Amino acid sequence: MMKDQIPILAELSRADQESAQVRERAASIPKEIARHESELSTHRRASEDYEAKLEESMRERRALERDADQARARRREVEVQQFRVKNQVEYQALTKEIEEMRRRTSTFEERAIEILTEEEAVQKEFDKLQDLLQQEEARFGEIKSRLENELASLEAEVRQAEAKRMELVNRLDPKIRTRYERILRSKGDMAVVPAVDGACGGCFYQLPPQKIGEVKKGESLVVCEGCGRMIVSQPD
């Protein structure tokens, strides 16, 4: 009897709506995880950028320190040679080279000190970013774990909803079931809606008094002339 089918339709519609909400939330979780992971990647790139700056600074400073050591060593060699020369021209040439090596040593050392000062600032910022990155990694791990647990729970709900849906669908008359599925595919959200203040709860089309009476009796299937959805009495 139709009177027995209408409550099943109403329950099936509620089950489908709840299932759709669960599926929508489940579908959003991987995107939410990806968004948090993208934020973590931003922190990681910032840390990597400063690490690269730090490494480049250290390479440049060490190269300058080597250059300074080489210039200093060359100056000492020339100073030793100076004691062996026997004419003024060679002596002056060596003196000039000594001064040049001294100048180079000073230049290299001064620049190395400048870089060391810059390096200390970069190191300080890098340490801050590393601390922040560790915090964000821990935070992401917690968020990911929570969301994955939620997803597993939602997937279990979906399976339960599918089982419940199958049970309800099997209780419907085949023709009514086909009609319900067709409307659901067409509307995409609800195939069965309640009557609200004498109007269709889906499109708010005002129902004729006769249709309102039929909905209240619940003895026949009432279809909205506006949207084609099935209309049932609003539950108390």
What's the rounded Cα separation, in Å, for the pair 224 and 230?
6
CA distances from 161 to 77, 87, 156, 187 (A): 89, 105, 9, 20
- DSSP sequence for 164-188: HHHHHHHTS-HHHHHHHHHHHHHHS
Burial class (CB in 10 A: 0-12, 13-18, 19+), 183: buried
Instruction: Please choose, from the candidates 228, 162, 150, 235, the residue with its C-alpha nearest in 3D space to the C-alpha of residue 189.
Output: 228
Residue 144 tokens read as: 């990911």
Nearest-10 crossing angle of helices 2-82, 174-187 = 40
For the chain, domain boundaries: 14-171, 173-236
- pLDDT tens per residue, the chain (236 residues)? 678 899 999 999 999 999 999 999 999 999 999 999 999 999 999 999 999 999 999 999 999 999 999 999 999 999 999 988 889 999 999 999 999 999 999 999 999 999 999 999 999 999 999 999 999 999 999 999 999 999 999 999 999 999 999 999 999 999 999 999 999 999 888 999 999 999 999 999 999 999 999 988 888 889 999 999 999 987 65
DSSP element (H, E) containing 229: none
Token representation of residue 232: 């049932």
Look over the chain and give the mean of its residue pLDDT values, rounded to a whole number. 93
Alpha carbon separation from 214 to 147, 199, 217, 231 (Å, rounded): 46, 13, 5, 10
Count CB neighbours of 8 within 10 A.
20
Assigned CATH class of 14-171: mainly alpha
